[in-house]
């Protein structure tokens, strides 16, 4: 957390009001969230005006004047919010004072997120390391099957690799695999074309629905206005270990591999020939 739907929701909340605002002052309260020295970060951003704000994978990508790009990865508990009276920030790390309206604050309880100010060339190199956007037209079922056929990794682990697919994290990987009827430990190479098509549809449906519901708030996530998302009540397996599957009533199982919990229904997602022990 946050994943594609949460970051997309924050970006959509910032897009109407952030462009046109100029950074007049920066206050760095916790420099450990920066990928570069604080002086360099401040010097690149101070006096620059926001031109646009977009999303790439799990990153908020803001383009400013003079070719400056501010990239914000929210880590596990980060959020980028307008510091209004009704939107308290409990763990502010970086405060951007702009020329009009409230300050923009990067708030992060655990401070696993990272901020970096770079130029367009530096960002292009970083962008190239990320996989395709799962909701884009370039992410096809055929491409997914071809990419899967070259890996023996467990499918859940493969989906979490941002070099393979950008923006998918543990919540939506588990949800999409359940919808597609695929066990999370199935080997990628074992996927048939039909299963790849099912997974492709499931990923797009799961992510699109979560975006419509403004993301999943389990604990810390809030949008740019400080409001929680509405998608948590719609999760079918994630975090529901020992509860009945909403499709068949079999108990949902939890297993740990790759240092992450996976949730699945043993009836809807049976083991296949490509399972790793």
Q: Which residues are catalytic?
A: 2-3, 58, 260
Report d(CA 97, CA 101) in Å as an integer: 9
CA 68 remoteness from chain centre: 23
Bridging pattern class, strands 59-64 and 68-73: antiparallel
> HEC string of 9-42?
HHHHHHCCCCCCCEEEEEEECCHHHECCCHHHHH
Task: Give the number of other CB atoms < 10 A from CB of residue 195.
Answer: 19
3-state secondary structure of 173: helix
Closest C-alpha to 176, from 149, 147, 137, 210: 210
Residue 208's φ and ψ, nearest 5 degrees, are -60, -45
């Amino acid at each position: 957390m946050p994943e594609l739907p949460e970051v997309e929701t924050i970006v959509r909340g910032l897009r109407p009001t952030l462009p046109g605002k100029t950074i007049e002052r920066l206050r760095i309260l916790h420099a450990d969230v920066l990928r570069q020295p604080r002086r360099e970060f401040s010097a690149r951003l101070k006096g620059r005006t926001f031109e646009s704000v977009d999303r790439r994978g799990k990153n908020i990508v803001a383009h400013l004047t003079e070719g400056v790009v501010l990239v914000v990865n929210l880590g596990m508990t980060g959020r980028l919010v307008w510091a209004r009276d009704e939107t308290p920030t409990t763990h502010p790390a970086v405060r951007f004072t702009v020329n009009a309206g409230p300050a923009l604050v990067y708030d992060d309880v655990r401070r696993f997120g990272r901020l970096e100010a770079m130029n367009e060339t530096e960002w292009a190199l970083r962008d190239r390391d990320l996989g395709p956007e799962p909701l884009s037209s370039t992410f096809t079922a055929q491409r997914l099957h071809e990419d899967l056929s070259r890996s023996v990794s467990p499918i859940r682990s493969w989906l979490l690799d941002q070099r393979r697919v950008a923006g998918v994290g543990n919540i939506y990987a588990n949800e999409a695999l359940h919808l597609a009827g695929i066990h999370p430990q199935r080997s990628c190479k074992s996927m048939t074309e039909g299963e790849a098509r099912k997974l492709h549809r499931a990923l797009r449906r799961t992510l699109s629905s979560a975006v419509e519901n403004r993301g999943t708030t389990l604990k810390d996530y809030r949008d740019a206005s400080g409001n929680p998302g509405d998608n948590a009540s719609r999760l079918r397996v994630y975090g529901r270990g020992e509860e009945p599957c909403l499709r068949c009533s079999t108990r949902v199982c939890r297993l740990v591999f790759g240092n992450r919990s996976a949730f699945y229904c043993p009836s809807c997602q049976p083991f296949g020939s490509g399972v790793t022990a």
